[in-house]
C-alpha cells in the first residue's frame, strides 16, 4: 500500500506551513500586543460587523470555547463591544480596536506576504493562489454535500 501520494504530501505540508507561519506571526505581532488569532478575529469583525458570536466562529479557526474566552479578553481590553439584543449578542469594533488594526494591518500584511515574496515569483504566486482557490472551492462543495 502506498501512503505518500502527492495529494497526501501536500495535505501534510499545509498544516506545517500554517503552524510555522502562525508562530512567526505571533512573535511579529507582539509589538502590537496581539496574537495571530486575535488579529484574525479583529479583521473578521471589522469586515463583517456587526456580527454574532456564531457567525464569527464560522469565519475563524478558533474553537467555540476559545472564541468566547478571546471575546471576553478583547472586550476587557476595550477593542470590541458586545451588545445584547434580546437573545442575540452582536459584536463590533470600538474605536480603540479600529486604531489597533490600523496600526498593525500594513505591517502584518507585509510580513505574511514576505513568506511568498521571498521564494516565489509573481507568476508562481498567481498559480498557487489559483490552485488553492480551486482546492478550497472543492472542499466547500464537499462540505455542503455532507450537510
In CATH, 6-106 is 3.30.450.20: no
Q: Going by DSSP bridges, is the β-strand pair 51-52/80-85 parallel, antiparallel, or unpaired?
A: unpaired
**Average pLDDT score over residue span 124-140:** 93
Among 56-65, 100-109, 138-147, the range of highest mean pLDDT: 100-109
* pLDDT tens profile 62-110: 777 788 899 999 999 999 999 887 778 899 999 999 999 999 999 999 9
CA pair distance 14, 51, nearest whole angstrom: 29
The position carrying cell 500584511 is 109
Whole-number CA gyration radius for the chain? 18
For 62, left (φ over 0), alpha (ψ -120 to 50), or beta? beta
Whether the CB-CB separation of 89 and 75 falls below 8 Å is answered with: no
pTM over 0.75: yes
Q: What is the domain partition of the chain in residue ranges?
A: 6-106
Q: What is the rounded average pLDDT of the residues 4-21?
A: 89
Amino acid at each position: 500500500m502506498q501512503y505518500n501520494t502527492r495529494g497526501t504530501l501536500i495535505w501534510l505540508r499545509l498544516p506545517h506551513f500554517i503552524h510555522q507561519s502562525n508562530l512567526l506571526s505571533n512573535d511579529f505581532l507582539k509589538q502590537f500586543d496581539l496574537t495571530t488569532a486575535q488579529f484574525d478575529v479583529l479583521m473578521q469583525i471589522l469586515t463583517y460587523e456587526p456580527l454574532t458570536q456564531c457567525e464569527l466562529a464560522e469565519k475563524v479557526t478558533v474553537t467555540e470555547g476559545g472564541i468566547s474566552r478571546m471575546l471576553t479578553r478583547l472586550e476587557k481590553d476595550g477593542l470590541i463591544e458586545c451588545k445584547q439584543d434580546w437573545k442575540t449578542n452582536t459584536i463590533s469594533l470600538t474605536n480603540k480596536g479600529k486604531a489597533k488594526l490600523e496600526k498593525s494591518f500594513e505591517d502584518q500584511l507585509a510580513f505574511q506576504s514576505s513568506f511568498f515574496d521571498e521564494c516565489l515569483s509573481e507568476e508562481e504566486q498567481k498559480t498557487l493562489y489559483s490552485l488553492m482557490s480551486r482546492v478550497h472551492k472543492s472542499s466547500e462543495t464537499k462540505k455542503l454535500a455532507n450537510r
